[in-house]
Structure 1
């Protein structure tokens, strides 16, 4: 996980100091994946601008220990641990997302009890409820105690729109009837005319729609229009049509990112000499490969990637966990020592910002996509799950800042073709121009009087003026 958003002094300096009274903001964090850290970063920004306001931050002990250990805690932010939902002596069955399901089933009651403790500790009633958007029930909790609800969506606006329009999509295309229609376009949804049915996240139209996670996202999509505002880690200029539409669907829709550009973290330690190695390479010549902290391509795709890299002769940096190296072709590491680096970790922001990097081969997670825009580096996308297929489609067909791999999987011939298109052909130069344009729009959004800065001020006004 890249916690690049944890320190944001640049934006804080631009925020007006508020003379808010003794308010008490409750913050409900989703403790899995990379959800809690960006939410804490936003709370840090708000807390710094209003030192008289108290923020109670609720997550599991493991999550709080992880994100607060690398964070200089404000005196007006206090972490509260909530139960992870796993009964004593429980034996996991191995069902996908079982730990999430256990947590979510206990969460409403756990959060309610913890909020009562925090109110007692501080002597202040909760005045505003901020939560991860996954917590559809937070709207009901806010209504019960008479405060506003402000949910945070950690991914992009396209996936958010898919969940908000789930009922319309199901009514239009028919649940379970997508066979043979996978390439039909979602033109009925504003801003999604390039999106195909096959690009939708699992649980919107296909997969087990009655499983816990799809059901949770469906409830979320229905509940979000009731919130006082929905805020998101993006910038309006990236998806203007979807932004306009979601502004009409929500009471307020506030793009307040990209976080990784608002105030980048101090340079990470270059443990494996990536930047030194890049300094010796030609301009826009290097392929950088990374698939995030959760995903690793299956073994046969790792082989295809390795064979394509070796055959192409393209210099590369590959962030690959040590336990996955056994799947690489025999002798690959020895034969490519002068061509590339295979390392277990990279300082990704610094790598993508380096002028020698010409293409980013990625799973197309939202944070990685925003980091690629910040670096001005075109992408070759191999999506795996969730919003990644939507992101990949937008990269190739809407923004035209990269490609998706042929047939959705890594094959040697397909990777060679993609590398050639991005690094050697005119199409690659056009992608670089397009992504540099988005890079400049993002910089403008976070600059003086930019859309993201103004939206953050609007968010803070809602947090500190909580009359409903």
Structure 2
């Protein structure tokens, strides 16, 4: 009997990063590899959702750290420092017990878990970087670093709406950081380190050639290692449960009672928050649109308040059965539901892929990181959504919701989204780009083990 071939995965401890890594684990497991997940104790995944995986918790010493959004850079730095030695010890033990535990073929790590390369080099193990975002976002990082090296930052406000040279249609305001402000050296060093793949021998991308051919071809030239675009991960591993927040499946029963394409799904992700005024204006705009909606309002997502405690007085009575509000929804199931006709999203990459792969057009409300790049894709490249720009007020909410869900423009947008859905499906069929890339990835990893 041949020895088991183990692939060690190292996810970053945030929902938008854990989700694709665990999905990738399910994909690799179905391809014949044994999966080990080495993860920080902070935001640890639930082993019960992945009974076939081996989980190795890494002590990170961040239990007492301030974990507000503004301090996440410090939290991530602490994790990268404190997880290094425990990870090296775990790997050394695995490598000593090959006959029992199987051979460690390679480590696949999230791009921001920068400690992994040092450990892998010391143990002479090959590594593969997993990019949980678009290839266009990776190129945005390169442009950002170029601007920095050329002493072009900060930029004047009047330049923010201009297109970045050789990066059409992306604008300076779409970049990962706000370019009109002074950006700390420490943050740039982190971006540079996380962008550099070091000694890694390949990159896995949660995207597909059908939607990012141009940028994938350019990053291939930049990195000079094999690139495997095998997305969308969630469709290649549809049974993988990855949510860190408990999902409320009762909303599916509510959706079952709604007409096809009639419901607007509203969810701004696991991190993004809003102030009380924006919540109130959104609520009154949804009321004024007269459209059915499913709205996710997390605990503490509005000024740290409890679930839906700051909604307008009498809101439940006004909307009646036309609205459903939950703390967290099973998003993939929601977007697959025939009643859902639109998605108001922060445009994280996972949410964007999940929406477009189901043919659901979008209202985009980006906040930070890759969300502005993704929004530009949705609005100006794929033409499957509109951006909600500027301060949120009830009139603008009502207008854009009606435009998407009722007007002829929205129906045309839905047809374009369905066309995009077919591209996703084609990529996963035999002979499609993601199908072929997955076969190539499986063969590539196998060669690393010498088997």
- Encode CA deviations 1:162-184: one digit per residue, 9 max, x unaligned: 22443224346712234321112
Unaligned ranges ≥5, structure 1: 1-18
Equivalent position of 2:302 in the other structure: none
Q: Give the TM-score of the pair, scaled to structure 1.
A: 0.83
Task: Specify the SS of the correspondent of 2:71.
Answer: coil
CA deviation after TM superposition for structure 1 residue 241, in Å: 0.9
- Structure 1 position 235 matched with structure 2 position 214: no
Of 262, 265, 270, which residue of structure 2 is paired with 1:293? 270
* Closer, same or farther: CA 163–48 of 1 in aligned 2, 3 Å: same
Question: Which has the higher mean CA deviation after the structures are superposed, 120-129 or 223-232?
Answer: 120-129
The answer to whether residue 49 in structure 2 is matched with residue 70 in structure 1 is yes
Change (3 A) 1:63 1:299: closer
Q: 1:183 to 1:172 in 2, by over 3 A?
A: farther
Q: TM-score, normalised by structure 2?
A: 0.86
Tell whether the 8 Å contact from 1:36 to 1:67 is kept in structure 2 after alignment.
no
What are the Cα deviations for residues 205-264 of structure 1, in whole angstroms up to 9, with x where unaligned?
85533245x43222122x227532111112211122111111222212211111222242
State yes or no: 1:327 paired with 2:305: no
Q: Could you tell me how far 1:366 is from its partner in structure 2?
A: 1.2
The aligned residue for residue 303 of structure 2 is none
Structure 1 segment 45-60 matched on structure 2, within 5 A: 45-50=27-32, 55-60=35-40
Q: Relative to 1, partners in 2 of residues 1:334 and 1:211: Cα closer, same or farther, differing over 3 Å?
A: farther
Q: 1:436 to 1:187 in 2, by over 3 A?
A: farther
Equivalent residue pairs, number: 436
Q: Which residue of 1 aligns with 2:417?
A: 435
Would you say the 8 A contact 2:384–2:416 is kept in 1? Answer: yes
CA gap 1:21/1:169 in 2 versus in 1, 3 angstroms: farther
Distance 2:438 2:79 in 1: 30
Question: Structure 1 residues 218 and 206 mapped into 2: Cα distance closer, same or farther (>3 Å)?
Answer: farther
Q: Residues 31-430 of structure 1 correspond to what in structure 2 (within 5 A)?
A: 31-50=13-32, 55-61=35-41, 63-64=43-44, 66-73=45-52, 77-86=53-62, 92=66, 96-97=71-72, 98-122=74-98, 126-171=104-149, 174-189=152-167, 193-202=168-177, 206=181, 208-212=183-187, 214-221=188-195, 223-224=196-197, 226-250=199-223, 251-265=225-239, 273-321=250-298, 323-407=306-390, 409-430=391-412
Aligned mates of 1:349, 1:295 — CA distance in 2? 19
Q: For residue 304 of structure 1, report the CA deviation from its aligned partner.
A: 0.8
CA deviations on 1:387-410 (whole Å, 9 max, x unpaired) are 111111211111111011032x42
1:410–1:119 Cα change, 3 Å: same
| 1:63/1:300 CA distance change after superposition, 3 Å | closer
Equivalent residue for 1:11?
A: none
Cα distance in 1 for residues equivalent to 2:256 and 2:8: 47
How far apart are residue 349 of structure 1 and its match?
A: 2.2
Following the alignment from structure 1 to structure 2, what is the Cα–Cα distance between the partners of residues 450 and 187? 32
- Partner-residue secondary structure (3-state), 2:157: coil
> Per the alignment, in what secondary structure is the counterpart of residue 146 of structure 2?
helix
Is the Cα–Cα contact under 8 Å of residues 306 and 329 in structure 1 kept in the other structure? yes
CA distance in 2, matches of 1:440, 1:146: 42
How far apart in 2 are the matches of 1:146 and 1:163?
Answer: 29
Deviation by residue 1:5-60 (Cα, 9 ceiling, x = unmatched): xxxxxxxxxxxxxx975655443332333423432332343344336xx5543212
Distance 2:252 2:3 in 1: 48
Q: Which runs of 4+ in 1 moved over 6 A?
A: 266-270
1:52-73, CA deviations, whole angstroms, 9 ceiling, x for partnerless residues? xx55432124555x33121122
